[in-house]
Amino acid sequence: MESYLLDWANLLLRWVHVITAIAWVGSSFYFVFLDSSLTPPVDDDLKRQGVSGELWAVHGGGFYHPVKFALSPPKLPDHLHWFYWESYSTWLTGFSLFTVSYLWSAGTYLIDKTVMDWSPMGAIGAALGFLVVFWLAYDLICRTLAQRKNGDAIVGALVFVLVCAAAWLACHWFAGRAAFLLMGAMIATSMSANVFFWIIPGQRAMVASIKAGQNVDPIHGKIGKQRSVHNTYFTLPVLFAMLSNHYSFTYGHPQNWLVLVAMMFAGAAIRQFFVMRHGFKLGRNPHPWKYAAVGVVAIVVVFAWLKPAPTPPASPAATAAAGATLAAQGAPGAVGGPISYKTLQPILAQRCYMCHGELVQMKNVRLDSAEGVAKHAQMMYQQAVVTRIMPMNNATGISEAERAMIKQWFESGAHVD
């Protein structure tokens, strides 16, 4: 029953998380586009009102004319829309999903004992520490260096180094799948913290100054714009980290932290192309194709790097050794010939029933009967032999000989009679 409830919680939280993330990313991308596409107003009345830029657009059968005021409008409207619940809702649902999916079962999903053998509470504390420490370090870099000459370049370089260090630590402390997701959560936490601690407070200070009839301090708008731009560069790296946990060839690589850093770098470079593309259309900067090219080259390099080598056929000596290992473990049969369900069953009982048996049915999968094994034979082969993501983080200690048995059973017909 607990597994069933967790599955529903996972499904509903994931659904809401994706919905709110679409809203947040969409509004963020739109305003970056809007800022990059504004042109000086041509109407004298707009100029007198203090409008610094305008845009004409057509969408959904209607024409739109958004304008931007340099500091403040002549008069605040009665209704002022704030963009913050998209960010807060995305973080709250994401953290809840992370709790249900990883922290709740830290011993299974967060810990890989071949990477770091520590207690679930220790792993949970370290994971939460990643979210807090990265934000504090990133925020310190921005507060101390962002306003200096060439501050944007300096901050960008230092944040990249910080991300590299965090990726190395995460991939050397946690299971690969959890490490990638944690990196995404870590950066997304800083994105939401930018909104909570800087962007919204700065906007509130500007509104308060206008209502009090005081001059608006331009530093609030400048800092808010900087943090908003940082968020847009973080977005594609975060999306890759979140999606990659479905693809074990990324997080399962021996140098998985380099894979993650390279793909995050590619995402940031491609996002730079889209940001500068709007300025190019207005003649403000050269065509940013070089950034897109750098991002694509990085992806191609990773693609070539991760390409699996052809698997040579097992030698007679290796086959005999695997059979001897299984015999020593008490498993009947031998690798190399047809494998019966009777031969396979003891392996499933020892390695799979813990999560897919009578008491627990993770993902509603049961493997403690011939019918269940027949139904999920393809999945067993794919996840235990091809992608090797099961058992999760090899929590039950399946051996290479046992994986070979599953492979031989499936390739010889996957019979359960």
Report how far apart the first and last C-alpha atoms of the chain are (Å, whole number): 30
Q: Is 111 helix (H, G, I), strand (E, B) or coil?
A: coil
Cβ neighbors of 388 (< 8 A, separation 6 or more) are: 248, 252, 403
Q: State the pLDDT at residue 319.
A: 52
Q: State the pLDDT at residue 345.
A: 86
Cβ neighbors of 206 (< 8 A, separation 6 or more) are: 71, 72, 216, 217, 220, 221
Q: Is 130 helix (H, G, I), strand (E, B) or coil?
A: helix
Antiparallel, parallel or unpaired: β 51-54 and 62-64: unpaired
Burial of 159 (0-12, 13-18, 19+ CB in 10 A): buried
Spatial CA neighbour of 179 closest among 90, 100, 94, 259: 259
Whole-prediction pTM: 0.81
Q: In angstroms, what CA-CA distances link 412 with 164, 275, 370, 409?
A: 45, 54, 16, 5
Q: What six digits make up the tokens of 363?
A: 């993902």
Q: State the pLDDT at residue 237.
A: 96
Q: Is 23 helix (H, G, I), strand (E, B) or coil?
A: helix
Run means of pLDDT, 10 residues per run, the chain, 417 residues: 76 92 93 91 92 94 92 87 94 94 86 89 95 97 91 94 97 93 96 96 92 89 92 95 87 92 96 91 92 96 86 54 56 59 86 79 79 85 79 78 86 82
CA distance 367 to 358: 9
Neighbours of 364 (CB within 10 A): 9
283, HSE (Cβ side, Cα atoms, 13 Å): 1
Q: What six digits make up the tokens of 172?
A: 């050397």
φ and ψ at residue 132, rounded to 5 degrees: -80, -50
Let me know the angle formed at the C-alpha of 406 by 405 and 412, rounded to the nearest 5 degrees. 90
- 389 close to 383: Cβ distance less than 8 angstroms: yes
Q: State the pLDDT at residue 11.
A: 86
- 137 close to 164: Cβ distance less than 8 angstroms: no
Return the DSSP state at 54: E
Q: What is the DSSP string of 135-158?
A: HHHHHHHHHHHTTSTTHHHHHHHH
CA distance 31 to 28: 5
CA distance 3 to 173: 26
Neighbours of 59 (CB within 10 A): 7
